[in-house]
Chain A
Amino acid sequence: MDGVEVEAGMDDVLTLGGEKFTSRLIMGTGGAPSLDVLEEALEESGTEITTVAMRRLDPAARGSVLDVLRRKGIKVLPNTAGCFTAGEAVLTARLAREALETNWVKLEVIADERTLLPDPIETFDAAERLVADGFVVLPYIGDDPALARRLEQAGCAAVMPLGAPIGSGLGIRNPHNIELIVESAGVPVILDAGIGTASDAALAMELGCDAVLLASAVTRAQRPGLMAAAMRHAVTAGRAARIAGRIPMRRYAEASSPSRTA
């Protein structure tokens, strides 16, 4: 984002799967009430990558969300939402690769319908198979540092730990684990799911995440376009704060205008 570049005096780009992006906000399309509202939200978000659920979407059908993304030059990231087994996820990813001519996939294998939490075993199994098949794999996972490390070793291009369950808007429930994942990660960490409002997105970036993925927080907001703009600013602000380096927390006050020199 230009603001960060100027303020931090650096060329702050996100490198993901060998490609470079200036926006660190990845959008999802689920929950948008209409294509016009979605288009406005995408515009306001400044996003360069947007995920699309391949289940119940015909990539050849005209006038759909894919047309909006193509028109806006936004990279389409197919996801495997709605899959419960590694087998389904691999099949969905392959169909998406064929239909959309992209070898990128956001891997999502769900453990149960109530929580929509990711199934770590099926996810890992699918990730191994998709990496072997030449995919750029971005797996959605719980906030588990050990699993994140294993997926990185397996060849995933990023890891995408959740802040809280999909669509819950509960924010980042375990910031400590997100920090642990960031500390040891050699691939980009993308906070995925749970974002409710702008401060959640800023916090993710302050914790050191490389990007944030969100959908419902914008598409189900009362004014999606305005919330998308808020998220864009929050991600930029959080990234800048991370680079700037925050002050340590103290138990007691420290006068900001010292009365004597050290």
Chain B
Amino acid sequence: MPDLRRTAAEPGSSAVPDGSPDASPLYDVAVVGAGVAGLSVAWRTARRGLSVVVVDPSPGSGATHASAGMLAPVSEVTYTEQPLLRLGLASLAMWPAFRADLEGESGEDLDYRTDGTLDVAYGTDDMAYLDDLASFEESLGLRVERLTGRGCRALEPMLSPSVRGGLLARDDAWVNPRRVVSALLAALAKAGGTVITERAGGLAFDGDRVVGVRLASGQVIGATSVVVAAGPWSPSLVPGLPIRPIKGQILRLRGPEGFLTRCVRGLVHGAPAYLVPRGDGEITLGATMEEMGFDGRVTAGGVYELLRDARELVPGVTELELSETTVGFRPGTPDNLPLIGPLRGTGPRGPAEPAAPRPPRPPDLLAATGHHRAGVLLAPITADAIAAFLTGEPVPQVVESCDPGRFSR
């Protein structure tokens, strides 16, 4: 089990940098990690009047930078992950208001699109799988429409004539995650938040209590509460946190606007691929799933397989510019659900606190990480849940499945 005290014993982790001429102010909240999760938490918290600082050497450069930005809980449902579906649906329902606030406060356009996901099948076996998926989705009360191959091509003429059929999930949406980061940074600044572009070296402790973030430079940023939102790097702050990097290779293509109008997902001989169009003609094509640790290499096989499968679905992709190849690291947990909530007494701290009457102060250490493939989708619910934990507001019940202590059995 994780043990924070090891970190606490390190030099330079004292709570207050005594004698420091420019001792940093005490913030209400320090967020470590400026991906879509951390920035959303920071922004929504700052909007509630708390003083917020975010620590990240390069905001928006992690999984969010690679992400396609699909808000697609319906078409990504699986038999074994219904808590994730419920969480995703709850967050999808929050996206319109989240987007309106964010665009309003930042003045930026997120390229938020609500035309749904078209999930298509290439071969008969893939079609059988989609039929099975459609029955499952219908049994859960999710809205999907079954389409013939011609029906699919009426919606997306660039699809291959070989497409056998598909499912349209009208309620799925998508957004440009890079614009979301840019907008969050602008909105956070407007709400009075601070961003420190330095690497966090660890947590700062006073005894067993977390009292801030220690920067790699040694300086301590004091905070009443620290939110760990460092994605796959989170275990470097909270040793033993059950998060691992899951490598993804993802491509960006550039072509004429309107080449595709919806998010197209497809199964090609059992292998899933997706193409996500932007308003500016960019198409994001993803993605591999590799248990390779922090291996940042783009590989020939990864790029080949993505292009090969995309070409089967949409033959015209070969005429597009290959504008970017990216590797990102999804923060994966053992059950694919994120960690959202206080960390104290839930396992990653080791022994639980005595059940003495707790002082009416917010938790000192929280997690908002481990979002795997769904960080952008889950940003609104993550942000509001963490804000609720910090301010004492009621926390949405659906977030209970994300209790960071659930693995310490």
Chain A residues proximal to chain B, CB less than 8 Å: 33-37, 39, 56-58, 60-65, 113-114, 167, 221-224
Contact = CB atoms under 8 A, between A and B. Distances in A.
B243 interface: yes
Given A35-B334, A63-B244, A222-B79, A56 B293 contact: no
Given A56-B288, A113-B269, A37 B80 contact: yes
9 contacts: A33-B80, A34-B334, A34-B335, A36-B336, A56-B290, A58-B295, A62-B293, A63-B242, A222-B79
Contact of B291 (A37, A61, A224): A61
A57 B270 contact: no
Interface string B51-85: 00000000000000000000000000011110000
Interface in B275-302: 288, 290-293, 295
Nearest to A52: B291
B336 A63 contact: no
A104 B293 CA distance: 24
A113 B336 CA distance: 29
Interface residues of B, number: 20
Most interface-central of B79, B81, B295 (chain A CB within 10 A): B79
A34 B373 CA distance: 12
B243 A58 contact: no
A65 B335 contact: no
B87 to A, nearest CB: 14
Interface of A is mostly: loop
B244 to A, nearest CB: 3
B291 A56 contact: yes
B79 A62 contact: no
Interface in B208-234: none
Contact of B334 (A36, A62, A114): A36
Contacts of B270: 167
Contacts of A223: 79-80
Q: Which of B80, B295, B332, B336 lies at the interface centre, i.e. has the most chain A CB atoms within 10 A of its CB?
A: B80
A93 B81 CA distance: 34
A102 B312 CA distance: 39
Nearest to A40: B80
B193 interface: no
Interface string B81-108: 1000000000000000000000000000
Given A34-B334, A56-B290, 17 more contacts: A33-B79, A33-B81, A34-B80, A35-B334, A35-B335, A37-B80, A39-B334, A57-B290, A58-B292, A60-B293, A61-B244, A63-B242, A63-B243, A65-B291, A113-B269, A167-B270, A222-B79
B33 interface: no
A114 B291 contact: no
Nearest to A221: B79
Given A36-B335, A56-B288, A63-B243, A224 B293 contact: no
Contacts of B332: 35, 63
The CB with the most chain B CB atoms within 10 A, among A34, A58, A224, is that of A34
Contacts of A35: 332, 334-335
B245 interface: yes
